Structure 1
Amino acid sequence: MDLAPYVDRLRRELESAVRLALLDALSDATAETTRDLTPDPVDVRPGPAEGEAGGTARINFRLPTHLKTRAEEAAAREGLSVNTWLVRATAAALEPGARDHPAGRGHHGPQKYTGWVR
């Protein structure tokens, strides 16, 4: 029995499998390197609008678990972080006429971006 055709087929299949495994390894290494080079996400935040005070302040905000869950769901629906959603909701509650635009939606006009990128 001539085994040469079987050995040739096995060699071709093995070469293909090795190439695929190496490509997978390189792809994973590339993703890991990219992740290591940019460990922190870039966060671009709008600066204060004309006439508004600048800067931000950090607060500890405690709310019942069921409200936290609802805030997370609402933020996810709008594609926002919970922090951004809460800032917009607070602004909407405090700004005149903002009740027409829940969570600050509908704000139009020039936006100024300030910040830093690492």
Structure 2
Amino acid sequence: MELTQYVENLRRELTTAAEVGGEDARALADRLLPPLDAAVRLTLLEALSAAAEEISAELAPGYVDVRLRGGAAGFVVTPPPAPVPAAPAVADAVAGLGDVRLPVAEGDDAAMVRINLRLPGNIKALIEDAAAAGGLSVNTWIVRAAAAGLANEGRLAAPAAAAVQQPGRVGQKYTGWAR
């Protein structure tokens, strides 16, 4: 991006404005314009750099750099890295997590709790990939995966349904003695 045209436009505008002020203003503008050339170029570069920072903030983890080469400003765009395709099992797990409905917590159950979870590095990486593929945070993905696992076991049920269950019966399994 050549900056000279923008500097020349500003020079013309200042010369036009100085002509309104008469001969003294025109002479003053002629003396001020050459030193202003470098200041205008620097100001333009600062504006372009600020714009590149704003774009980089939206593009993160990608970024935009402004580089000056021979009086011309150039942009170098580094896009964010392409997501690593998830393994088929992980992709299936992510697809299934969208359908999980979490029970509405009430009273004391509405409070959030924190746990520490230790995972092997490869499983953590798979979780991160699956969460990114689903557009979810790792925390949200783990909560949905836990809810899906509990739902599959029949343990995640509404409180009213749990109260109706017969004694001796847990989820989809029966307990007790049989002959």
Q: Classify the TM-score, shorter chain.
A: 0.3 to 0.5
Structure number having the greater strand percentage: 2
Larger radius of gyration: 2
